[in-house]
Structure 1
Amino acid sequence: MKNLSAGRRVRRMKASSGCPMLRSRKTEREFRSETSHQGPLDIEDLVKVGHKVGTCPYYGSRSMVPTADLVILPYQSLLSKTSRESLNLSLKNNIIIIDEAHNLADSLISMYDAKITSSQLERIHSHLEKYLERFQNLLGPGNRRYIQTLMVLTHAFLQSIAYPKGANYVDPLSSGSEVQSDLDFSIGINEFLFSLNIDNINLVKLLHYIEESNIIHKVSGFGDKLAMLQNDVALEGTTAEASTLSGFRALVSLLSSLTNNDGDGRIIISRARVISSVHERGYLKYVMLTGEKIFSEVASEAHAIILAGGTLQPIEEIKERLFPWLQPDQLHFFSCGHIIPPKNILPVAVSQGPCGRSFDFSYSGRSSSSMIEELGMLLCNLVAVVPEGIVVFFSSFDYEGKVYEAWKESGILARIMKKKRLFREPRKNTDVELVLKEYKETIDELSSTNAKYNPAPCSGAVLLAIVGGKISEGINLSDGMGRCIVMVGLPYPSPSDMELMERVKYIEGLESSLVSKTQARLDILKCCKHRGRQYYENICMKAVNQSIGRAIRHINDYAAILLVDARYASDPSRRSFSHVCDKLPQWIRSHLIPSPGNYGAVHRLLHQFFKFHRKETSNQ
């Protein structure tokens, strides 16, 4: 018995000792001293110092935050109050610089979104039930009451997204917008709580209990072990959704969201359904609508905030969404021209194709066989005049796939590939790097070969990319990788996106009752007169600016930018209203050729542009 007791004491001592890399205060001080004498270090250097001294480089660097002159961290760590507190990061009288600030407003509100699926709720409810059944006699009355409250909530949430009894199958080929609207809808926080009869539950006290009791770790650990023993699931290899702990965290996040003010967000309820005999799970999602209050906490503490980015336009939207309370004399806007000379850029709005058809890539016109064929003929002409690499941006993977298959069937693809090799952006982000590597190697190999034996610009490759995909965000398509950027249409987001429409309604100031069904969601933009419509257009043009900004990455770089759609092409001197091209970056907008006429004029411009740069390159 003595040995057993001693063994238990040893195990408790080991458990309480924590991470062995954090036991010595002396080594922590040595780490701080070593790093402070070496100047700025990257992650690899910090790891080397940590190994040398014998302490944890992560916690060692965190301990240096209060004394640091410059702290670099992601959006989430800066904008989340709990993250700042855990890092011991003070914003008082400090200067905050936020790069790539075009994403700031959306990143801020998306940080406070919360989503939980029916499978997560079922798993949590089952584990809570088994945990209570096993330990009911050992738990105090307070613990039992809180666990039962969690079970009431998970049961209520499951009922709200359950597949309606007696509902018919939903045929995806039918225009069942009315059926769809009954399965997907939004609701305010208060209305949601009252409809489920859970408005009398004190969520603040419940969240405090969850944090203090560590109940989610206890229940998830017990449930997973029990399931493994019963061979219900294999603990290794479980997906993130199947993990009880991740499900509990999703539940806590949703409960926390329900404590917000009623007007700060909306609850989206997507009920379970059957489509073509396949059962689709439902989910609950809280959508934050405003980041103004959250950002004001940061702004009130900081000495100054600098928002930086290459595609910040339009700045008015950022101001309205993040700091509408700011006085005009407190906001200073600075914009400068691009580093490249005007001769290195050729932006053209292309309204007609080689066969004379007007380009219309609106949702109703883009899928027609004539429009897809006209786009293919345009590319057939471009591969004959543009050297090295051409990047073509489509609005979605589905549309790119449809165009690719149509070109393949019609023989257009074969004509393109006689001049240039063709690559496609993969859906998996992990595969993008390999595709880009092959794309670059092909351009370098074929272009250098042709430069030696055949000076004609029939070389290189074509890359079909997606707006909003990995290639459109942060990828460097400099020099030959991006000699010509082709933007196909205006990539407006789908009006059937309920989250988007909720934000549009909030920004426009529309009543939530105006939008209850899918058809109403599609028509909501017609109700928007100013701010909501501007926000919707800004999403589109930010995506355009990010995509075309992948080219021209240094002072000697040059590229043509083709905006392919009749909606881009209009004479600025004749505009009496706001136009999409007004939201292009100044360095592109000031040189944009709005409508050179038929495609022949476009082809001549491209020929002259690349001929001029070919001569300049040969003279260097």
Structure 2
Amino acid sequence: MNPSRPDFCHPYQPYDIQLDFMTKLYRCIEDKNIGIFESPTGTGKSLSLICGALTWLRDHERRSLDVEDNDAESTDWLVRAEIAARRRRNVLEREEVEQKLAAIRRREDKRNLKEGLGSTKRVRLLREQTTQQQPNQDDLMLEDYQSDTEDDQLAPKTSHSSFSSTTQALLDKLRGPINSDVVEEENDRLKLIICSRTHSQLAQFVSELRRVKPPSIFSSASGDQVLGNDIEECVKHLPLGSRKNLCINSKVNRLTSSTAMNDQCLELQKAGTPKDKRCPHLPTKDDKERTSAFRDAAIAHIRDIEDIGALGRKMELCPYYASRSAIQLAEVLTLPYPLLLQKSAREALGVSVKNNIIIIDEAHNLMDAIADTYSISLRLNHLEQSIRQITAYVVRFKNRLKGKNRVYVTQVLRLLNSITDCLRATTNLSSQQDVTVTASQLMSGKGVDQIKPHKLLQYLHESKLAHKVEGYTDAQAVGDPTRDQAKGVLMHFQNFLAVLMNPDDEGRFFVCRQDGETIVRYTLLDPREHFRDIVQEARSVVLAGGTMSPMSDYSNYLFSYLGESQLQTFSFGHVIPQHNLFATAVTRGPTNIDFDFTYDKRSSESMIMELGQLILSACKSTPDGIVAFFPSYDYLAKVISIWQRPSTLEPLMTILQRTKATFQESKGVSVDELLRDYAAAVDSGKGGLMLAVVGGKLSEGINFSDKLGRAVIAVGLPFPNANGAEWKAKIQYVEELQYQQCKVSKGMNEAECRSEARRAGRDFYENACMRAVNQSIGRVIRHRNDFAAVLMVDRRFGTERISQKLPGWIRGSMNKSTQSWNEVEVGLQKFFSNR
């Protein structure tokens, strides 16, 4: 099947690489494959994704109607009549929706949402309560709890969102078959589900979406109108967010913690809550007209998340809940990573991935995002706080706690005590910063071996013990300034309990000391199983980014269960002419000192001074702004301290500052003012030197286009600490996985498999480093007419092993021969003199 429009409805004349991108994307979706697309920033990646995917979506919907026509030609007259009627009904329904949305757009243009938003019914806004209302003690009491299954059977009935598919499959197997009469609902409209890291990145995506007019299903492939009516088929887009983004209740959105906001929102919805204390903005059964009006207004225009919040405030209707009514009609959904990656979040929003197209932009850190989503940490002082809270609750209600409530609350206390005892013992016995522990060690306390974690977790969910205890604690702590610190502690423990059930090979537990506190953290090592349900249910999954290289990790550790034909990888070139990029590895400095920034050698003061002379020389040869990226904040601070030392003449740092205005990124400090001052220095004509850190705030999402980034210098390779417990565990996991695969499929002997495993571990370690480097050097060259130099300062950049992990558009422009600094300097001067 070919696209209906050869230009994919691109709003401009697309570049050749954009046409290639859209063609391959269209085919990837059509063939129901998984695709990894690398296209440098500045090549119109967002528009290519939108145009290619939306063209396929509309073509597919129109073809679905055409298929019915074809079926109608080959059957008897009664069936033909039924098919024709169904097709006509479907098209008329779509036509009616489009006409309604067009009318809303016209009204909005004229009256700015003053009229036409459905019912004129107004919601009375509640006056803010000036005093804390004391809860009824009976509301804090646990209801009698009866487990749905006997103690020797496995529960829960429904899967828990924190379980990986492996854990859930094990529970299902042990529980045995479940008879269910539930019939899966028919899928709603086919959708593009587009994700990125943040709402600000999605807002940029939405601005590009406004430019596109995809083919209409009301037209034939040739462009002729199907029904003869001139209907504008708008893109029906809906942005989705969390309560933190969309809540309009001042009693809830003033809370700082997302957990606290979620809990407070749910508290205001409880059946027993008096009507005058419930959330006044929550849609009810009586609000169908207003909810429908919100739905139509939400998708009549292409809006970002802030527009949806403003619409909710204007209509005095909760946009978090009301937006769900628009999901069925929407054809494009945009949402941040966590709302897609967590099954519980998808279910809460009513978002299904089944048979839909998933596009994940800025996907270079997807595996890290999955790991972060399913990793969790607990502080020892919070665990101790939980014990005090539950103990106080038990003392208060001990005469009313009966049966299974008493049993399960006792189990919670035993498990909390077991974990705290393990943390204390581990920190007392070990002097290491990070120590690996097992789930068995955390659950080795007295009587804990009799606890069934899955049943205890079911109890916590169904009894809402955490909410009850926190409500009691909250009531007792009125006026206490530390009251907010106790919020959500038990809920956090409840989430931690879920990961205790994960298989040992999926993740590891670490005990560490941080800022004087003892912390236990669970780190997910295997992201496959927590993303697998999305891959298996969706029609197609597309990962896209400016710097996806090196790509081998995705095939090896995220999609390893897919066949070769199902996973496709594409790396597209840049739209700039090749002569607009000067890229080279710099292995020696101005006085021929070798640059070797390995951990053991990078503290050499002579090499650090040589680096300073190189940067000084680059500043003199390069106009406007230069950005230099260092491996870490600590190393940058060390380098600057050496540059600031007095020499025979004056400190090197003083000379640098006299050559260009010099700025330094600092850990934990906002970069807004820093960027503003840097841009002002560049615009003034003096030029600027920005000293930044790989993995810092300036290395991702910041645009150093044109004068702001005429050169980028990568200093060394930012390898993570391979001796830390967490990275040791990651490398060990990769080596073991590779060893097992080698034994099963390659028929190698023991020694060969061990050697293959070590190579895989080293490759995985290097790939993590090079993804960070590629992100940093990708901050420059942001559009077709941009130009810049990329200097990679370290002898290792000159090796084939490292250089092959650079993006293709940089590799293609690199000078293959090893050059002295004098040759590089001459090349720099010539490069900029021609601009």
Give the TM-score range, shorter chain: 0.7 to 0.9
Deviation at 1:194, TM superposition (A): 4.5
- Corresponding residue for 1:611? 833
Q: Say if 2:708 is the partner of 1:468.
A: no
In structure 2, C-alpha distance between the alignment counterparts of 1:394 and 1:300, rounded to whole Å: 40
Choose from 714, 717, 735 the match for 1:487.
714
Partner amino acid, structure 1, of 2:294: F
Contact 1:299–1:305 under 8 Å retained in 2 = yes
Q: Say if 2:264 is the partner of 1:264.
A: no
Contact 1:66–1:88 under 8 Å retained in 2 = no
Query: What secondary structure does 2:378 align onto?
Result: strand
Q: Evaluate the alpha carbon distance shift between residue 489 and residue 595 of structure 1 in structure 2; reply closer, same or farther with a 3 A threshold.
A: farther
In structure 2, C-alpha distance between the alignment counterparts of 1:474 and 1:98, rounded to whole Å: 16
Q: Say if 2:569 is the partner of 1:308.
A: no
Q: Say if 2:478 is the partner of 1:217.
A: no
Deviation at 1:286, TM superposition (A): 1.4
In structure 1, C-alpha distance between the alignment counterparts of 2:523 and 2:795, rounded to whole Å: 35
Contact 2:625–2:708 under 8 Å retained in 1 = yes
Deviation at 1:51, TM superposition (A): 3.6
Deviation at 1:428, TM superposition (A): 2.2
In structure 1, C-alpha distance between the alignment counterparts of 2:454 and 2:415, rounded to whole Å: 14
In structure 2, C-alpha distance between the alignment counterparts of 1:526 and 1:184, rounded to whole Å: 28
After the TM superposition, which residues 59-70 of structure 1 pair with which residues of structure 2 at under 5 Å, given as runs? 59-70=321-332
In structure 2, C-alpha distance between the alignment counterparts of 1:129 and 1:249, rounded to whole Å: 16
Q: Say if 2:796 is the partner of 1:535.
A: no
Deviation at 1:370, TM superposition (A): 0.8
Deviation at 1:400, TM superposition (A): 0.5
After the TM superposition, which residues 326-341 of structure 1 pair with which residues of structure 2 at under 5 Å, given as runs? 326-341=562-577
Q: Residue by residue, what CA displacement relative to the aligned partner does 1:312-337 show, whole Å, maximum 9, x if unpaired?
A: 11222101111111111112222211
Partner amino acid, structure 2, of 1:465: A
- Corresponding residue for 2:481? 234
Query: What secondary structure does 1:337 align onto?
Result: coil
Partner amino acid, structure 1, of 2:407: R
In structure 2, C-alpha distance between the alignment counterparts of 1:32 and 1:562, rounded to whole Å: 52
78-87 vs 217-226, which moves further: 217-226
Choose from 437, 443, 447 the match for 2:682.
443
Q: How many residues are treated as equivalent by the alignment?
A: 547
Contact 1:66–1:90 under 8 Å retained in 2 = no
Deviation at 1:191, TM superposition (A): 5.3
The two structures, once aligned, show a CA RMSD in angstroms of 2.6
After the TM superposition, which residues 29-40 of structure 1 pair with which residues of structure 2 at under 5 Å, given as runs? 29-36=292-299, 38-40=300-302
After the TM superposition, which residues 233-382 of structure 1 pair with which residues of structure 2 at under 5 Å, given as runs? 233-235=480-482, 238=484, 243-270=485-512, 280-382=516-618
- Corresponding residue for 2:225? none
Query: What secondary structure does 1:418 align onto?
Result: helix
Contact 1:313–1:584 under 8 Å retained in 2 = yes
Deviation at 1:528, TM superposition (A): 5.2
- Corresponding residue for 1:136? 398
- Corresponding residue for 1:427? 667
Contact 1:472–1:546 under 8 Å retained in 2 = yes
Q: Residue by residue, what CA displacement relative to the aligned partner does 1:437-481 show, whole Å, maximum 9, x if unpaired?
A: 111111001x2xxxxxxxxxxx30100101000110111110111
Q: Residue by residue, what CA displacement relative to the aligned partner does 1:181-214 show, whole Å, maximum 9, x if unpaired?
A: 4x73223434543577623211111111211222
In structure 2, C-alpha distance between the alignment counterparts of 1:606 and 1:118, rounded to whole Å: 55
Query: What secondary structure does 2:542 align onto?
Result: strand
Deviation at 1:116, TM superposition (A): 0.4
In structure 2, C-alpha distance between the alignment counterparts of 1:590 and 1:348, rounded to whole Å: 11
Q: Say if 2:835 is the partner of 1:585.
A: no
Deviation at 1:608, TM superposition (A): 0.3
Q: Say if 2:727 is the partner of 1:500.
A: yes
In structure 1, C-alpha distance between the alignment counterparts of 2:506 and 2:272, rounded to whole Å: 48
In structure 2, C-alpha distance between the alignment counterparts of 1:28 and 1:418, rounded to whole Å: 62
Q: Say if 2:264 is the partner of 1:14.
A: no
Contact 1:489–1:564 under 8 Å retained in 2 = yes
Choose from 816, 819, 824 the match for 1:597.
819
In structure 2, C-alpha distance between the alignment counterparts of 1:80 and 1:40, rounded to whole Å: 26
Partner amino acid, structure 2, of 1:587: W
Q: Evaluate the alpha carbon distance shift between residue 161 and residue 44 of structure 1 in structure 2; reply closer, same or farther with a 3 A threshold.
A: closer
Partner amino acid, structure 1, of 2:298: T
Partner amino acid, structure 2, of 1:19: P
Q: Residue by residue, what CA displacement relative to the aligned partner does 1:363-409 show, whole Å, maximum 9, x if unpaired?
A: 01111111111111111211111111111101111111111111111
Query: What secondary structure does 1:333 align onto?
Result: strand
- Corresponding residue for 1:559? 788
Q: Evaluate the alpha carbon distance shift between residue 305 and residue 567 of structure 1 in structure 2; reply closer, same or farther with a 3 A threshold.
A: same
Q: Evaluate the alpha carbon distance shift between residue 18 and residue 43 of structure 1 in structure 2; reply closer, same or farther with a 3 A threshold.
A: same
Q: Say if 2:356 is the partner of 1:116.
A: no
Deviation at 1:166, TM superposition (A): 7.7
Partner amino acid, structure 2, of 1:474: G
Query: What secondary structure does 1:409 align onto?
Result: coil
Contact 2:507–2:523 under 8 Å retained in 1 = yes
In structure 1, C-alpha distance between the alignment counterparts of 2:304 and 2:624, rounded to whole Å: 35
In structure 2, C-alpha distance between the alignment counterparts of 1:165 and 1:31, rounded to whole Å: 55
In structure 2, C-alpha distance between the alignment counterparts of 1:162 and 1:11, rounded to whole Å: 42
In structure 2, C-alpha distance between the alignment counterparts of 1:422 and 1:189, rounded to whole Å: 50
Contact 1:162–1:271 under 8 Å retained in 2 = no
Q: Residue by residue, what CA displacement relative to the aligned partner does 1:241-266 show, whole Å, maximum 9, x if unpaired?
A: xx323322321121000111232222
Contact 1:216–1:245 under 8 Å retained in 2 = no
Partner amino acid, structure 1, of 2:396: R
Q: Residue by residue, what CA displacement relative to the aligned partner does 1:44-69 show, whole Å, maximum 9, x if unpaired?
A: 33234334433222322232123210
Contact 2:576–2:785 under 8 Å retained in 1 = yes
In structure 2, C-alpha distance between the alignment counterparts of 1:98 and 1:52, rounded to whole Å: 32
Contact 2:386–2:489 under 8 Å retained in 1 = yes
Deviation at 1:11, TM superposition (A): 9.2
In structure 1, C-alpha distance between the alignment counterparts of 2:532 and 2:540, rounded to whole Å: 12
- Corresponding residue for 1:180? 431
Query: What secondary structure does 2:597 align onto?
Result: coil
In structure 1, C-alpha distance between the alignment counterparts of 2:366 and 2:596, rounded to whole Å: 32
Deviation at 1:556, TM superposition (A): 0.7
- Corresponding residue for 2:352? 90
Contact 2:418–2:445 under 8 Å retained in 1 = no
Q: Evaluate the alpha carbon distance shift between residue 76 and residue 20 of structure 1 in structure 2; reply closer, same or farther with a 3 A threshold.
A: closer
Contact 2:414–2:445 under 8 Å retained in 1 = no
- Corresponding residue for 1:27? 290
Partner amino acid, structure 1, of 2:715: V
Deviation at 1:309, TM superposition (A): 1.0
Partner amino acid, structure 1, of 2:560: P
Q: Evaluate the alpha carbon distance shift between residue 66 and residue 406 of structure 1 in structure 2; reply closer, same or farther with a 3 A threshold.
A: same
Deviation at 1:137, TM superposition (A): 1.0
Query: What secondary structure does 2:328 align onto?
Result: helix
Deviation at 1:416, TM superposition (A): 0.5
Percentage of matched positions with identical amino acids: 36
Which runs of 5 or more structure 2 residues have no equivalent in the other structure?
1-135, 140-270, 740-753
Q: Residue by residue, what CA displacement relative to the aligned partner does 1:25-49 show, whole Å, maximum 9, x if unpaired?
A: 221111112233x331123332343
Q: Evaluate the alpha carbon distance shift between residue 223 and residue 47 of structure 1 in structure 2; reply closer, same or farther with a 3 A threshold.
A: closer
Contact 1:317–1:535 under 8 Å retained in 2 = yes
Query: What secondary structure does 2:352 align onto?
Result: coil
Partner amino acid, structure 1, of 2:619: V
Partner amino acid, structure 1, of 2:510: I
Q: Evaluate the alpha carbon distance shift between residue 376 and residue 135 of structure 1 in structure 2; reply closer, same or farther with a 3 A threshold.
A: same
In structure 2, C-alpha distance between the alignment counterparts of 1:166 and 1:287, rounded to whole Å: 22
Contact 1:350–1:595 under 8 Å retained in 2 = no
- Corresponding residue for 1:517? none
In structure 2, C-alpha distance between the alignment counterparts of 1:441 and 1:250, rounded to whole Å: 45
